[in-house]
Structure 1
Amino acid sequence: MVEQAVCKISDVEPGEMISTSFGSQEIVVCRTPDGRFYAFLNKCLHQGAPLDKGIMCGTSMEQSAPGKYHYGRKGEILRCPWHGREFDITNEGRMLANPTKKLPSFKVRVEEEEVIVYK
């Protein structure tokens, strides 16, 4: 198993992300509003856009009535900066539009003040 401390907890605000390195790979470390950490390769599946230049956001949810949508899951969706592909960071980085596709991910744990990524 390869593991590395990639940042401190305080480096990533809830609902935000940062880019960093894991070995020779550029990764993006995301933190949900409730404080959970996730890490993914910093490259969109579509055309390789740097995901850290995108945003952590929410997404349109199911209709409550015809033509009525609501916004939800704020801080759990990583949106690509180039073409708006959306990835659910809490579900293995799966693409919302096509859940059979997912971002390459890394395991994460927190020890004291450090965010540790491992594979």
Structure 2
Amino acid sequence: MSRHIVAPVQDIPPGSRKLVTVKGRPIAIFNIGGEYFGLLNRCPHQGGSLCEGRLTGLLESSRPGEYRYTRQGEILRCPWHGWEFDIRTGQSYCDPERIRTRAYAVNVEPGRLVVEGPYVAETVAVSVEQDYVVVDM
């Protein structure tokens, strides 16, 4: 598994979101009360941008006439057709057995640890043969 630095913490304050691209994949990063979550920015229904979706909660009931509003800000609604997803897991509330959007682990790490690595530099051998420069891949 590879790790990618996507933003300084101050760029995604609590209650906000940021769309980033990692290895060509659009990923929506959400900060919910200081916890960070990442979801593929494509609704599996018809490709709507989940980063533009509304964060809501979950309305639950144990019996008729009794309702509880829970998980405030943890349910993401697609802006196109209203499909709902658990921001923690990507699980769909429209068809939980079959549909989900890809969830990515997101962590906050101190800058000093990020600077230390470990990093592996990709190198490519280069040689000069007569008048040609050749790159070995």
Q: 1:94 aligns with which of 75, 78, 91?
A: 91
Tell me, yes or no, if structure 1 residue 81 matches structure 2 residue 79.
yes
TM-score (norm 2): 0.71
TM-score by length of 1: 0.80
Q: Which amino acid aligns with 2:60?
A: M
Structure of higher RCO (CA pairs closer than 8 Å, 6+ residues apart) = 1
Equivalence map 1:13-52=2 (5 Å): 13-33=13-33, 35-52=34-51
Identical pairs, percent: 36
| Number of residue pairs aligned between Structure 1 and Structure 2 | 111
Aligned with 1:95: secondary structure?
A: coil
One-letter code of the match for 2:93? L
Give distance in 1, aligned partners of 2:76 and 2:25: 19
| SS of 2:73 mapped into structure 1 | strand
1:84 CA displacement: 0.8
Give distance in 1, aligned partners of 2:48 and 2:75. Answer: 16
How far apart are 1:59 and its partner, in Å?
2.4
SS at the partner of 1:52? helix
The one-letter code of the counterpart of 1:8 is P
**SS at 1:10's partner residue?**
helix
- In 1: Cα distance, 2:73 partner to 2:13 partner: 11
**5+ long unaligned stretches in structure 1:** none
- Could you tell me whether the CA contact under 8 Å between 1:16 and 1:75 is conserved in 2? no
